[in-house]
Amino acid sequence: MASKREEAVYVISVAAELAGVHPQTLRIYERRGLIEPYRTPGGTRRYSNADLERLSLIQALTEEGLNLEGVKRVLELENLLMNLRSKVDQLQDRVREAHENAEYQIRQVHRSYRSEIVLRRKSLPDVREKQE
């Protein structure tokens, strides 16, 4: 997986042009916590394709009538939803593993029955009883 630094290739002017906004808009979005571009050691903002996708979502939400605080809340909720989905997936994996383990243990117990079962043969009449 590439690092944030390797993915962030667009300077602010290029990112703004690709997103169809003014560079100052990107600075405002950053101050409001809507986007967090990578910063070079010299402090230059660099934007990635993921940042551009996020900008596109921000634009779509504002065009729908949300203000920037509303957009921020939607983005926070989407992030929360992604985290919760990830946790649900992890829990489902753990439940699946526990179920498989329980089934394995049940099979082991059933196999142990075979060694514990003693077959009784039908008794033959005692020969001594008939001779008397």
Task: Convert the pLDDT of each residue in 70-101 to its tens digit.
Answer: 999 999 999 999 999 999 999 999 999 999 99
Q: Is residue 73 located within the same domain as residue 57?
A: no
pLDDT, greater one: 5 or 47: 47
In a domain, 123, yes or no: no
The mean per-residue pLDDT over the stretch 120-124 comes to 66
Q: Is residue 101 located within the same domain as residue 61?
A: no
In a domain, 127, yes or no: no
> 24 is in which domain, residue-wise?
1-65
User: What is the pLDDT confidence band of residue 105, given thresholds at 50, 70 and 90?
Assistant: very high
Q: Report helix, strand or coil for 47.
A: strand
Q: How many domains does the chain have?
A: 2
The CATH number that applies at residue 9 is 1.10.1660.10
Q: Report helix, strand or coil for 22.
A: coil
Q: Tokens representing 60?
A: 């779509």
